[in-house]
């Protein structure tokens, strides 16, 4: 009886490729340069919010994403430094990293606006943004995180 003919190996499926190379799944997302995420604190809250912080530190801030955000800049206004121990009441803000927020706006501003922006003063729609401080802008009472 003749030996069976060797067959060509099948190319891996998308799932097999992702399992073999987890970075392959996120390569599209990482190709988009994240938008700059600015946390607007205001005159009164700025000093308290940045106390003890320096560029390079990781910090969490809570606030609302502004509909004035554009592809290269995400604005989070009415912001505070977030401290879970001192969170008073109401629905807990939704956590999101500054990198995710920046990438979503850079990739598709219209979809990001639908996802992140709600009417001001709404009990929902507040986010906890966590990221590494890249700038402390005392003259404009804001910080930049990535």
Confidence category of residue 83, pLDDT binned at 50, 70, 90: confident
Please say whether the beta carbons of 14 and 25 come within 8 A.
Answer: no
pLDDT digits (tens, 9 = 90+) for 44-73: 899 999 999 999 999 999 998 998 887 689
Using DSSP's 3-state secondary structure scheme, residue 74 falls into strand
What pLDDT is stored for residue 69 in this prediction? 87
Mean local confidence (pLDDT), 24-34: 57
Extract the tokens encoding 113: 């606006």
Q: Where are the domains of the chain?
A: 35-145
pLDDT digits (tens, 9 = 90+) for 95-139: 999 999 999 999 999 999 999 998 666 666 789 999 999 999 999
- Of 123, 130, 126, 124, the closest CA to residue 146 belongs to 130
- Of 137, 115, 111, 133, the closest CA to residue 124 belongs to 115
- Of 144, 134, 131, the closest CA to residue 59 belongs to 131
């Amino acid at each position: 009886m003749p030996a069976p003919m060797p067959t060509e190996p099948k190319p891996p499926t998308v799932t097999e490729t992702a399992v073999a190379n987890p970075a392959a799944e996120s390569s599209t997302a990482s190709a988009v340069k994240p938008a700059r995420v600015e946390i607007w604190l205001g005159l009164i809250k700025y000093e308290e919010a940045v106390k003890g912080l320096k560029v390079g530190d990781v910090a969490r801030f809570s606030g609302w994403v502004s509909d004035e955000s554009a592809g290269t800049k995400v604005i989070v206004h009415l912001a505070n430094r977030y401290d879970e121990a001192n969170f008073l009441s109401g629905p807990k803000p939704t956590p999101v990293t500054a990198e995710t927020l920046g990438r979503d706006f850079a990739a598709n501003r219209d979809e990001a606006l639908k996802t992140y922006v709600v009417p001001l003063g709404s009990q929902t729609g507040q986010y906890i943004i966590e990221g590494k401080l890249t700038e402390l802008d005392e003259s404009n009472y804001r910080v930049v995180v990535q």
